[in-house]
Amino acid sequence: MGKLYISNAGDSRAIIVKGKDYIAMSTDFTPVLERRRLQHIAELHPQLLSDEFTHLEFQKRVQRKDIGKKLLYRDGNMVGWAYKEITENDLKFPLVYGEGKRARMLATIGVTRGFGDHELKVHGTDIFIKPFLTPAPEVKIYNIFEYDHSENDVLVMGSDGLWDILSSEAVTEICHEVLESFPPGDYKRYASAAQELAMAARGVLKDNGWRTKEGKSGSGDDITVWVIPLCHHTGLLSPQNSLTESNQAVPYIDSEDM
């Protein structure tokens, strides 16, 4: 009792916002983060890559003119880099390619954990994605009763459309500003915080598309945000102002994507 379990199998994210600080409650599972796991699977079962991909990662995209030269590479057993003489076989497309959010597994998908996608294949091939895409989640536990919570302490969960644009620090800052602007006991603060986060990630429609207040491109992905109060579980809000159990979590789903 009194424990919050956060289970994540994808690139959504959850953080607990306490004042101006936050606690990370999930990991974004991307091809770069799970490179070694993916490479290990491919090394044990090379038939999964057919003859199209290589499990090796090189510091630069290998070209035919590099054959015979020595380039830096690494496999699933390596943290650092070593030199390898390039052969014809190294011209295959890498299992993991790209950096950060642009990284792709098998040139197809930007996540490495998730449900479904059993029939998903690399375009134009018979190579299945599913052997590398695991549904096994990461589970983190937060003991609610180990901490004192105010009505401005919340759990924020969001899809990658939010986190592609806003960092955990930016989300914490926005939540803090919005929640502090409401009088004590006003639970509408949670819906307002969720809406503010979604709008900050989407931006404003201008002549050159959706733009954030910093002038950068807004999110083109779906944006789903939940802002969930933690203090209800410790009775800090009065019963008349508390939401019912089914409504304690206030979601915001961007209507643009429905």
pTM over 0.75: yes
Average per-residue pLDDT for the chain: 88
For 102-114, the DSSP string reads G-EETTTBS-SB-
pLDDT bucket at 70, cuts 50 / 70 / 90: very high
Q: Is the pLDDT of residue 41 over 60?
A: yes
Arithmetic mean of pLDDT, 183-195: 94
**Distance in angstroms (rounded) separating the CA atoms of residues 218 and 236:** 37
Per-residue pLDDT tens over the stretch 87-124? 999 999 999 988 877 899 999 999 999 888 889 999 99
Which residue is associated with the tokens 């203090």?
A: 231
Look at residue 238 in the predicted model and tell me its pLDDT.
Answer: 40
Look at residue 243 in the predicted model and tell me its pLDDT.
Answer: 42
Q: Do residues 92 and 53 touch, judged by C-beta distance below 8 A?
A: yes
Look at residue 242 in the predicted model and tell me its pLDDT.
Answer: 39
| H or E element that contains 192 | helix 188-202
Report which DSSP code applies to 59. Answer: S
Give me the torsion for CA of 168, 173, 174, 176, rounded to 10°.
120
Interacting residues of 105 by C-beta distance below 8 A, sequence separation 6+: 31, 38, 95, 96, 111, 112, 129, 132, 133
Look at residue 118 in the predicted model and tell me its pLDDT.
Answer: 87
Give me the torsion for CA of 221, 127, 13, 190, rounded to 10°.
40
Q: Is the pLDDT of residue 196 over 50?
A: yes
Arithmetic mean of pLDDT, 145-172: 93
Three-class SS of residue 64? helix
Which residue is associated with the tokens 């819906």?
A: 191
Look at residue 234 in the predicted model and tell me its pLDDT.
Answer: 53
Per-residue pLDDT tens over the stretch 242-257? 344 434 545 545 545 4
Report which DSSP code applies to 153. Answer: -
Q: Do residues 168 and 244 touch, judged by C-beta distance below 8 A?
A: no
Q: Do residues 212 and 165 touch, judged by C-beta distance below 8 A?
A: yes
pLDDT bucket at 233, cuts 50 / 70 / 90: low
pLDDT bucket at 214, cuts 50 / 70 / 90: confident
Look at residue 215 in the predicted model and tell me its pLDDT.
Answer: 83
